[in-house]
Structure 1
Amino acid sequence: MPLKVLFVPILGDGHINPCIGIATQLIADGHRAVFTANDVWRPKLAAYGIETVELANSNVTDDGAQRMMSLGIIGGASPIEKARLESGHAEFWTKHAQYMDTQLAGLLPAIRPNVIVVDQLVTLPSVVLSGIPCVWCWSADPLVMLDDERAPPGLSGLSAAGDPRLWHEFRQMVRDVKREKWRAFNDWVVGRGCEPLPEHCFYSPSRYLHIYGYPLELDYQDIRPLGRNYVRFDNFQRTERHMTFAVPPDLAAKPGALIYFSFGSFCAVDVQNMRRLIAILAKSPHRFIVSMGPKHKEYTLADNMWGAKSVPQLSVLPLVDLVITHGGINTVTESLYFGRPMIAMPVFGEQYDNAQRLHDKGFGIRLDAYKCSEEELLAAIKTLLNDKALAERLAEVSQRVQTDNSLAKVSQLLEDFVQNPRKYID
């Protein structure tokens, strides 16, 4: 039976793009995909054949980046220093949830989906109260998805091979910072008619089927196996058949390896740091394709570079030899899909975890986005480009991921879940 699947993502590239990957697979398999969206995203979604319902909302990508700059979340502070700012972050997402909850309470009776896919950071009572089967799609790393004492805490960037005492200290500090915000949020959820949330948690993990995109080679299931309501995919990668890219002739004519440099739609708003990194990369003998971000008009690239506000990443990655990234999950999973080594320079949030995991597993090098020296960055480029053994390992990972094509199984999973939710949730 064809399903009508409602997607409720946060309106930012890092959240919507994975949902597009899932939706396009569902559409190809004969299902309907409907997104809650605004005027910014509606035409972009239409290019993939995705239906939308109106959601009055601002552009979270732009507003969110500026907000995080003002809070100090985007900047040179350490993960633990930024974690102390989580109270303000939690307050923002609480207000966002309350807004979304009001919107959905009015929309759900008219849409009447068979299943809802949410990509949010906190629970939405209207979804819970609807009684409609719900899948939580995680466009964050597995440590953010599930806090488990057997693994490092999410957002910490601490190594899975590190000292568990440091895990405990970080985890406890975050709980202390968020405690009052959690209590207020829980009171609101209960007031809406839902059951109380688990302590320290802004949603009830056991209520949902969770799906997440993280390659087996990076996952943490070796140290903390997951329950049956968690299903891993290697990625939620979309196809961009309507977008093409060719290396500009001037750049193609220059010598050296071809390197892709992207700090995503958020981290690139720190123009001062982008200028610093561009000045270092200008001294490299290699060539760079740069995704410059929303403030692309405020800095200039060097002669060995070409860039634009945004570039079609999935068309660029097959052409390059190395990726310099902030460590966002989409770039990490997409780079591994194409077998590309990475220099991961995390700026905030789950990027720290992804960068450390790449480093620990030997698929790249983690550097400090704000403190790395010219010598460190240029040496890391040289090291990775010359590592033939790593190139062979990455080619094997790429072949496995592409051959398995795990996303092709998502339609069957959702069909099964709708027909038999108890198979996944007690």
Structure 2
Amino acid sequence: MSRFLFVVPPLVGHVNPAVGTAAVLAARGHEVAWAGPADLVRRLAGPDARVFPCVPPDPKPDNAGEIVGRTGHLKGPAAFQFLWERFLIPLADHMAPRIRTAIEEFRPDVVIADQQTIAGGIVAESLGLTWVTSATTSAELVDPLAGMPKVAAWLDGLVEALRGRIADGKGAADPRMSPYGVLAYTTRALLGAVALPEHVWLVGPSVTDRPAPTDFPWEWLEGTERTVLVSLGTANAEASGPFLNAAVQALSGLPGVRAVVVDPAHSVAAAGENILLRPHVPQLPLLAHVDAVVCHAGHNTVCEALWNGVPLVVAPIRDDQPIVAGQVTAAGAGVRLRFGRADARRIADAVGTVLDETAGHRDAARAIGRSFRAAGGSVAAADRLEGLLPRATSPSAGHGSGRKQKRAGAR
């Protein structure tokens, strides 16, 4: 059989979708290996996963929790620049020689590189390998820099300088949009009518079982009250305090409603009897028991909620979250709040709106969920990857390469 190497960053939301795809490939008899954070991959993919460590066990400048968390006070281009200069580029510089070693030892037939491990695509291309992009968020599919040419030019220069350092300048393809193929874990029902080249494959979310806390008090959910899940993700702990406290105040006053509030930083001072505070929750199984989700519009949380037909209140903080939030509201599956202005009254009104069956948000969420399931998820992703195996080691004609051609074809 064939060999597939997954290159992933130290970010849970970027490893999780790859886990399901890797599991399908392994079940079909292929060899699978990982280049990335060893402890995180083995926690999510299983203790027997073959991992080539590419991220320090206790990274300093590359620490995802620290670096990504610090962008909470930044907005727009400033947050984008900070993320690239302080996280993505240093991570790529660190990972590149280790990815090269992993490729030399494992000798993969196909490399699957997450969009935020740009060294994966650059190194694979420089070695003449078939490589595919794993797009765990749809932000890059809609070109977030379309209206910011100076920022786009700055990023082009940053990437080309990186290519010169880690690949002797070899290659021309955008490392976030492989010309061989892009696994996009979404569907048109959420993405909308965005022009895409044929090699962007809308496979739908890769939703699969993963390790979760075992001490959740499931009996607390018994009864007739409607349940709301509030979660802003672990990377946003520093910025989450005021929002979570406002959410608790809002939900404490809603009759017939109870809420599970994820508070990893213990930011909430006090909560009523209808509020369950937990540092972590088993999110996937819990979503089958909730009636609405309040979140930061992280792509994984949004897709997992919609997979279960659950409408959303989205309060984006940074990065791709405003784009995902816009997709949710455009599809009719939720209500958007401004994170910095989301007081108790606004949160209560938004939750009341998505819980109102006559507003149509639940129907829209269920329709998106059906499209997700029909797309195939990890099975469809594995099919696409297997479809590359008989092909030559160069992209098909017409796919093109390089950032300029990507923009022209994908927009």
TM-score tier after normalising by the smaller chain length: 0.7 to 0.9
Structure 1 partner of 2:228: 259
Tell me the matched-pair count. Answer: 389
Conservation of the 8 A alpha-carbon contact between 1:22 and 1:407: yes
Q: Does 1:275 align with 2:236?
A: no
Name 2:78's counterpart in structure 1: 84
The answer for the alignment partner of 1:186 in structure 2 is: 160
Superposition pairs of residues 213-292 of structure 1, within 5 angstroms: 213-220=185-192, 222-224=193-195, 226-240=196-210, 247-250=217-220, 252=222, 256-273=225-242, 274-285=244-255, 286-292=257-263
> Aligned in 2, Cα 1:387/1:298: closer, same or farther, shift over 3 Å?
closer
- Farther-moved stretch of structure 1 (26-35 vs 8-17): 26-35
Q: Following TM superposition, by how much is the alpha carbon of 1:173 offset from its aligned partner in structure 2, in angstroms?
A: 5.1
Please state if 1:16 is matched with 2:15: yes
Pair 1:357–1:395, CA change in 2 (3 A): closer
Task: Return the letter of the residue paired with 2:372.
Answer: V
- Match status 1:5 vs 2:7: no
Q: Which runs of 5+ in 2 are unaligned?
A: 401-411
Q: 2:323 aligns with which of 353, 357, 372?
A: 353
Q: Does 1:108 align with 2:103?
A: yes
CA distance in 2, matches of 1:298, 1:382: 22
CA RMSD of aligned residues (A): 2.9
Contact 2:2 2:30 in 1 (8 A): yes
Match of 2:383 in 1: 412
Contact kept? 2:133, 2:181, Cα under 8 Å:
yes
**Structure 2 residue aligned with 1:135, among 132, 138, 148?**
132
Q: Paired residue for 1:64?
A: 64
Structure 1 residues 71-94: Cα deviation after superposition (integer angstroms, max 9, x where no partner): xx213x5xxx43134333222221
Equivalent pair of 2:226/2:291 in contact (CA under 8 Å): yes
Structure 1 counterpart SS, 2:341: coil
Unaligned runs of 5+ in 1: 148-152, 155-166
SS of the residue 1:412 aligns to: helix
Q: Secondary structure at the match of 1:217?
A: helix
Secondary structure at the counterpart of residue 168 of structure 2: coil
SS in 2 for 1:311: coil
Determine the structure 2 residue equivalent to 1:321: 291
* 1:130-166 superposed Cα distances (whole Å, 9 cap, x missing partner): 222111101121x42452xxxxx36xxxxxxxxxxxx
- Report deviation, 1:411: 2.2
Determine the C-alpha separation between the residues in 2 that align with 1:334 and 1:42.
20
Q: Distance between the aligned counterparts of 2:180 and 2:389, measured in 1?
A: 12
Matched to 1:66, the amino acid is E
Return the offset for 1:60: 7.2
Tell me the amino acid that sits aligned with residue 99 of structure 2. Answer: L
Change (3 A) 1:205 1:5: same
Cα deviation, residue 4, structure 1: 1.6
Report how far residue 271 of structure 1 moved.
4.5
8 Å Cα contact 2:314/2:336 also seen in 1? yes
Question: Partners of 2:325 and 2:14 in 1: how far apart?
Answer: 19
What pairs with 1:111-130 in structure 2 (closer than 5 Å)? 111-121=106-116, 122-124=118-120, 125-130=122-127
Question: Percentage identity across aligned positions?
Answer: 19
TM-score, normalised with respect to structure 2: 0.84
- Compared with structure 1, are the counterparts of its residues 408 and 268 closer, same or farther at alpha carbon in structure 2 (3 Å cutoff)? same
The answer to whether the 8 Å contact 2:16/2:44 transfers is no
Residues in 1 aligned to 2:29 and 2:215: alpha-carbon distance in whole angstroms:
30
| Alpha carbons of structure 1 residues 245 and 357: separation in structure 2 relative to 1, 3 Å | farther
* Contact residue 135 and residue 208 of structure 1 kept, 8 A: yes
Q: Deviations over 1:357-395 (max 9, x none)?
A: 111221100101220232221111111111244333433
Q: Within 1, Cα distance between the matches of 2:97 and 2:12?
A: 23
- Contact 1:123–1:204 under 8 Å retained in 2: no
1:398 is matched with 369
Q: CA 1:175 to 1:131, structure 2 compared with 1: closer, same or farther past 3 Å?
A: closer
Which moves more between the two structures, 236-245 or 120-129?
A: 236-245
Q: Which residue in the other structure is 1:331 paired with?
A: 301
The answer to whether the 8 A contact 2:126-2:171 is kept is no
